[in-house]
Structure 1
Amino acid sequence: MTQIFTNHIGYDSGDTKQAVYRRKDKETPVSFSVVCDKTDTPVFTGTLAECGEVDRWETGYYYTMRFDDVQEEGTYYLTVTDDAGKTARSYPFQIAKNLLEVSTLSAVGYYFKAQRSTGEYEAIDKRLRFVGNRTGTHDVHGGWYDATGDYGVHLSHLCHTNYFNPQQAAFSAYAFFKMNDLLEKAEYPYYTMLKRRILEEGMYGADFMMRMRAPSKSFFRSKSRTMDAYGPVSKMRVISCSFRNPTKRKGGGAWGDYNEVTDYDYETSFRSGGGYAIAALAYAARTAFPSDYTKEEYLNAAIESYEYLEANNEKYANDGKWNLLDEYCALEALIEIYKTTREFDYLRRAGQMADRIMDRYVAIDDTMGYLRVNDTDRPFFHAADAGMPVVNLLDYYRICRDSEKKAKVLDICERLMRHEVAVTNEVANPFGYARQLVIGGDGVKKTQFFYPHDVETAPWWQGENARIASLASAARSLAQETADEALAAALKKYADDQINWVLGLNPFDSCMLEGEGRNNIDYFFEYDRRDFIQCPGGIVNGITGGLHDEHGIEFVFKPTDEVIDNWRWAEQWIPHATWYMYALCLKKI
């Protein structure tokens, strides 16, 4: 059907502005207009760019429309006129300065407060036992429920996969401190109450990290459940473990033999949450805000845990080896310890860790390349944190005192992001969705739209709103530093396209931020049960490749004989919300 897709909320006055037109039959669109909704007067007219069909999506034939020059605040709609004289019209949308930040940051921040682990869970968590054979209890209350259908609280999961650990509760705790600093530097001065609530969430998260510290000086990785969600909380709530050789898998969960589990398997490596837990504690140590611990306690905990994990990380890593994920998480921990202590040794060690990351660079040509995740030529790709290496390298760039090393860091980040943009633009891609270089289960490197279904995480695969928001964060961070004006312009559009996708500019015309826009997706399981209700301000997993064809596209709104649980698409997850807020705060707002 003929349709005009826009960001459901609208566009910042200074951002790039794109909409997409899908034709119904063989008609050819001739022109489009941006029309003032109040006066029905066109304020801009342009021509459409033909893109055609996309991969094997089978969702239609597309054209794009750019209207960056429309910057006056107001409510508008788009019209498209075809060669038969017929006109299509979009839903109205807004244009205003700081529109998305003012309209959505508060809602997503409140989502986190709604996800706090309180009530009967908090009562049990104050003396929580371990699953399996480990004895004793610990006070680990706090944290945020992980997802719509998961009342667990996790620093990370997918530990058995080695290369795909997502950064979860610890990253959120860190990111709230970071977002407060970014808003402090912003041009827009009126976020006082929002910043207070952001700091409150950050300190709430840091206090939780303190309680998740294990006697070893590592951190407990997860609070989970031992049975279905309807059992008594007192019986199902546990400090859970990872299985290095899982024998059973379902969704994101993996099970094995508890007799093979050691104390290390309850705790974190850098990549399974330890790095960002340390970063959050170091940040809390220089933050003036009411909390349960002193600044000295936060800092001592951060330093002790860093030194311990640096010496023992291999024992906690599933495969007994450091990889890129450990390095970029450890880098952020060192950066924050340095920024709090101002001790040169931590800056020196951060430089060494940045070197380890940059040594993984693989050139494709003279201008771009990718990072190896391990000691082979395996490319780094990730379902949630694809932009994290660049974000963290640029954080190091901003504190580095060595001009030669600074230039090298910036050059590597530019090369990595040129590659991301090039892969995204190498095929018809009207929505600008961030494509990726992957290596599938067959061992073949290839570029594609969505996360592959046959890698080590299988049967876990899901929508990628965290991944694309992390790449938007990397793009916006680099755009502020690069002197390459053409690259900066490409990065700004690339970032805007990812945020637009989340907020409705996608082939399903679905805003994936609950309570905003149109066509929010509901979460169902067992055909039609609605036991887990979406929370306003949360962001769902999102759109994936097709169920049986990764070159296709899928977003399951209703139960089918094959899909009786649509968690892959409809489950809200805190990394999506964290990276979305991070990307918005990285603008010069």
Structure 2
Amino acid sequence: MEVLVNHLGYDAGGRKTAVYQGKREDRPVHFCVRREGGETVFEGIPTECGEVAQWNTGYYWTLDFSDWKGEGVFCICLETSSGTVVSESFEIRQSLITMRLINAACYYFKAQRSSGEWLHEDRSLSFDGERAGRVDAHGGWYDATGDYGIHLSHLSHGTVHNPQQASFSAYTFFKAAEELTASGNEQYTMLKRRMLDEGCFGADFLMRLRAPSGGFFRSISRANALAHVRGNRKIGFEYHGSSSQFSEKAATADEEVVNDTNYEVSLRSGGGTAIAALAAASRHYYPGTDYTRDEYLLAAKDAWHYLYENNEQYTNDGAWNLIDEYCSLLALTELFRASEEYEYLMEAGAMAERIYKRMVMEEGQKAYLTVRDGEPYYHAADEGLPVMALIEYAAVEMDKEKSNDAIKMAEMLMRHMLFVSTSVSNPFGYPRFLYKDEKGIERIQFFFPHHTAVEPWWQGENARIASLSAAARALLAVTRDMELKDALELFADQQINWIMGLNPFNSCMMEGYGRNNIQYFFNDRYDFMNCPGGICNGITSAEDNEEGIALIREPGGSVKDNWRWAEQWIPHVTWFILAEAYKRI
């Protein structure tokens, strides 16, 4: 029996909820919020939610104390049939908690900068495989706790699962700095400077990662995690039909001919977000960069024109899908912001129309996206990016009708998300999704499926839920639907709460903060320790039941490597920064 709270606390002006995890017979009837020292400042009635799916983690009630706006240190006291249950203490502050979290996340990125022997190697990289030549691609951020490689994306063989990695991280620092400026909070002054520093570090790396073709190389790969660094870092390639991530040899290695395109990005495998990052960098002067603002913008323009004309050569299936389109929409929006050239705005409008055509309309002004014909869109990391891209486009579109259309479509997508998430017992507000399983049957569930085009890859999805929090926040700022606005505010906060410990395992996912942090192990070893301020992959469905739930914390049983749950990955922190910055507090 426990009252689960956000381990750090809550924004004074935001939604404030807790969850009681107990037994059905506990029958809680009353709770109060007490200030440190014992003063009761708020009283309320718990809302019964019941059990969740096949989690088998208890019976749930939610406790809402959003109406309390005072600052300080507090706890919750809940009266149940079994006695009084008291939560751990937490803070309520105007903006200090948000500042602390963004600050921690920024320091995580600085700690992940390629340096030392890795940096030395990256100044002169050869290619994995037969391609000749060397590349100076120094800079960038290590991808994950156990992966000192640097990637713009991966999982390209799965066609519809590409995550946005280092290139989107670079873009995020510029966008987050803009959102902090828009907040009007002068206390963000130093944070903004550090964000511009980090964003320019990422932009300089992307400039070096440019390929002679006009696009970008996708990845700096590394050999065995514990191997010598010298000579073992390469410009990597991807096969089109399989991956060697979980085996010594990719399944299609003997069938495929690797050429120059296998080393380079498509718009969906990091190219679109790299263009967006460079265009954004051109608008933000920061001392100490290796390139000028004009050079950033020219590189972004050249990359866009090349990849738009040749994208099919770089996709694994020779076709565009939704991921190419929303990454392109973001790129075009930023190109227009930076250049003010009307052609980019017209192209952005056309790209938005392509996205609209992928929407399946539902009753109640709801809709969901298809990633390609007949296949509902869901994503382990970037599910909020289509909505965010539409909102960013709406902000620059000068035709009021077109701008309103983009907002309307974003509203419909988020109504669908809210509907599928609230149509079952869901005390934590965790986002569910519609997908088509390996047999072609449409299903709705909480966690990323085990059987997809990228299996055996599946993992916790803290990036996904943070991206949806960011999308909700972005839409909050522009929607006129007050009922939707209220629901979005709660939904946005619930995703951050989950990451910060308000989850069935009472585990804070940000290393060094909160309680019950999880550590990454493989083969019963802890060689790769998580970094303070970083965020682990997080909670998944159970290993043998996709309606269940799991967070594997300790060695033992069938799990020899708990990367699915414990490994940190930069997209989690990237989206977390953006979700917090979009609060504008």
- Same-fold call, TM cutoff 0.5: yes
Deviation of 1:525 after TM superposition, in Å, equals 0.6
Residue identity opposite 1:100 in structure 2: I
Provide closer, same or farther for how the CA distance between residues 296 and 505 of structure 1 changes in structure 2, counting only shifts above 3 A.
Answer: same
1:530 aligns with 2:526: yes
Verify the 8 A CA contact 2:158 2:241 in the aligned structure 1.
Answer: no
Separation (CA, whole Å) in 2 of partners of 1:562 and 1:99: 42
Q: Aligned equivalents of 1:27 and 1:370: distance in 2? A: 39
Deviations 1:264-318 (A, max 9, x none): 0000000000011111111111211120011121111111110000000000001
Alignment check: 8 A CA contact 2:218 2:264 kept: yes
SS in 1 for 2:375: coil
What letter matches 1:26 in structure 2? Answer: E
2:18 corresponds to: 19
Unaligned runs of 5+ in 2: none
CA–CA distance in structure 2, aligned partners of residues 62 and 348 of structure 1: 50
Alignment partner of 1:216 is 2:213: yes
Amino acid corresponding to residue 558 of structure 1 in structure 2:
E
Equivalent in the alignment of 1:250: 246
For the Cα contact (< 8 Å) 2:157–2:243, is it kept in 1? Answer: no
Contact 1:252–1:459 (Cα < 8 Å) also in 2: no
Whether the aligned pair in 2 keeps the contact of 1:541 and 1:576 (CA below 8 Å) is yes
Q: Are residues 240 and 568 of structure 1, via their aligned partners in 2, closer, same or farther at CA, if it must alter by over 3 Å?
A: same
Q: Which amino acid in 2 is paired with 1:473? A: A
Identity %: 50
Q: 2:337 aligns with which of 336, 339, 355?
A: 339
Q: CA deviation at 1:27?
A: 2.2
Residue 541 of structure 1: aligned partner: 537
* Residue 465 of structure 2: aligned partner: 468
1:387–1:12: structure 2 CA closer, same or farther, 3 Å change rule? same
Work out which of the residue numbers 488, 494, 511 in structure 1 matches 2:485.
488
Assess if the C-alpha contact under 8 Å between 1:249 and 1:459 holds in 2. Answer: no
Report the CA distance between 1:235 and its aligned residue. 2.4
Decide whether the 8 Å contact of 1:510 with 1:521 is kept in 2. yes
| AA matched with 1:582 | L
Determine the C-alpha separation between the residues in 2 that align with 1:253 and 1:429: 41
Shift of 1:248: 4.8
| Conserved 8 A contact 2:24-2:50 | no
Q: Does 1:508 align with 2:528?
A: no
Query: What value does the CA root-mean-square deviation take over the aligned residues?
Result: 1.4
1:174 aligns to 2:171 (yes or no): yes
Supply the distance in 2 between the matched residues of 1:252 and 1:76 (Cα, whole angstroms). 53
Judged with a 3 Å threshold, the aligned counterparts in structure 2 of structure 1 residues 191 and 253 are, in CA distance, closer, same or farther, namely farther
Q: CA 1:268 to 1:252, structure 2 compared with 1: closer, same or farther past 3 Å?
A: farther
1:305 has 2:303 as partner: yes
TM-score by length of structure 1 reads 0.97
Aligned residue in 2 for 1:187: 184
Alpha-carbon contact 1:166-1:384 (below 8 Å) kept: yes
Deviations 1:530-588 (A, max 9, x none): 10011000000000001010000000011122001100000000000000000000012
Question: For 2:271, what is the secondary structure of its paired residue?
Answer: helix
* 1:77 partner amino acid: C
| 2:233 match | 237
Aligned length in residues: 583
CA gap of 1:522–1:205, structure 2 versus 1, over 3 A, is same
Matches of 2:505 and 2:141, distance apart in 1? 29
Note the C-alpha offset of 1:41: 1.6
Aligned equivalent of 1:32? 31
**Contact 1:246-1:256 at 8 Å conserved across structures:** yes
Alignment of 1:99-498 (within 5 A): 99-225=96-222, 227-246=223-242, 248=244, 250=246, 256-257=252-253, 260-290=257-287, 291-374=289-372, 376-498=373-495
Q: Report the TM-score, using the length of structure 2 for normalisation.
A: 0.98
**Alignment match, 2:4:** 5
The superposition leaves residues 62-114 of structure 1 with CA deviations (integer Å, 9 ceiling, x where unpaired) of: 11100001111000000111135x10101000011013312211111000000
CA offsets 1:358-380 (integer angstroms, 9 cap, x no match): 11111122410101111x12111
> Which amino acid in structure 2 is aligned with residue 503 of structure 1?
M
Q: 1:249 offset after TM fit, Å?
A: 5.0
Structure 1 residues 403 and 251, CA, compared in 2 at 3 Å: closer, same or farther?
A: farther
2:281, 2:427 → 1: CA distance?
42
Distance 1:252 1:210 in 2: 32
Give the direction of change, closer, same or farther, for the CA distance of 1:325–1:277 in structure 2 (3 Å limit). Answer: same
Q: In 2, distance between residues paired with 1:475 and 1:253?
A: 41
CA distance in 2, matches of 1:325, 1:247: 20
Shift in alpha-carbon separation, 1:576–1:546, aligned structure 2, 3 A: same
Q: Deviations over 1:12-58 (max 9, x none)?
A: 00111110112246221121110111x21211111111111100000
AA aligned to 2:332 is L
Whether the 8 Å CA contact 2:237–2:263 is kept in 1: the answer is yes
SS of the residue corresponding to residue 75 of structure 2 reads strand
> Secondary structure of the residue that 2:548 maps to in structure 1?
coil
C-alpha distance in 2 between matches for 1:574 and 1:190: 26
Q: Which amino acid aligns with 2:57?
A: T
Long gaps (5+) in structure 1: none
Equivalent pair of 2:121/2:231 in contact (CA under 8 Å): no
Separation of aligned partners in 2, 1:562 and 1:231: 25
The amino acid of 2:353's aligned partner reads D
Contact 1:3 1:21 in 2 (8 A): yes
SS at match of 1:507: coil
